[in-house]
Amino acid sequence: MRCESVEMLADGLIVSPSAERNKGPIAEILMRLLPAQGEVLEVSSGTGQHVLHFAQAMPHIRWLPTERDAGSLKSIAIRLGQAPLPNVDAPRPLDVHDAVWPAENVAAVVCINMIHIAPPSATEALLRGAGTVIAPGGILFLYGPYRREGRHTSPGNEAFDARLRAENPQWGVRNLEDVVQRARELSFDLDQVHDMPANNLSVIFRKR
């Protein structure tokens, strides 16, 4: 996501151009990571474009979309109504700061383009919440822009970071090493990092 505006259609459906572009490359990574069966909780499912694409590409997995935003929850429900899939649950409300998450013992938690448009407390809450619902040996998958060793990976990411911080001083592109260190303290070991389109990263942790 690069501060692109989403399009709100008349029926309440939300469309994100960036989600449309990156859903394929992300699915390719997830197909190599996820087990032959199990449940995957998606945090901050947004428009629903990702979860429906993943469910179609990986019918052996049961997908559990969640969102804190009412408009996004409506958009996901509309997409599911238009193209119902047997392996996608109805979207559930979830703020990462919630004490109890609506899942348990899942194979993975997937979170795309969230932590840079949220306060630092959201990263902490995401790591803690994921730790309570992911089964031992399971995966936490994060996608988005990151700084590496305190430096931006591209001029575009640097400009994007400045725009985010101007909009909200608590937002911004996070330092990957800081996220990795905090994840390690909360029982997640860094497993893989993949370069992705538009200077994003796929960051994969495995729960001890």
Radius of gyration of the chain (CA): 16
Closest CA to 14 of 69, 55, 64: 69
Q: Are 115 and 143 in contact (CB under 8 A)?
A: no
**Predicted pLDDT of residue 93:** 98
How many residues appear in the chain? 208
Enumerate the domain spans of the chain: 7-207
Q: Where are the alpha helices (DSSP H) in the chain?
A: 17-33, 49-57, 70-82, 120-133, 155-167, 176-185
SS3 114: coil
Tokens for 81, please give them: 């109504």
- Rounded CA-CA distance 34/60 in Å is 10
Total Cβ atoms within 10 A of residue 208: 11
**Predicted pLDDT of residue 137:** 97
Reported as a single tens digit per residue, the pLDDT across 131-181 is 999 999 999 999 999 999 999 999 999 999 999 999 999 999 999 999 999
Q: Are 160 and 145 in contact (CB under 8 A)?
A: yes
**Predicted pLDDT of residue 5:** 65
**Predicted pLDDT of residue 12:** 83
**Predicted pLDDT of residue 6:** 79
**Predicted pLDDT of residue 10:** 62
Considering the four listed CATH numbers 2.60.40.420, 3.40.50.150, 3.40.190.10, 3.40.50.300, the one that applies to the domain covering 7-207 is 3.40.50.150
Mean pLDDT in order along the chain per 10 residues (208 residues): 61 92 98 97 97 98 98 96 96 98 98 97 98 98 98 97 97 98 98 97 98
Pairing of the two strands 200-207 and 134-144: antiparallel
- Rounded CA-CA distance 74/130 in Å is 24
**Predicted pLDDT of residue 3:** 44
Global pTM value: 0.96
**If you count DSSP H runs as helices and E runs as strands, how many of each does the chain have, helices first?**
6, 11
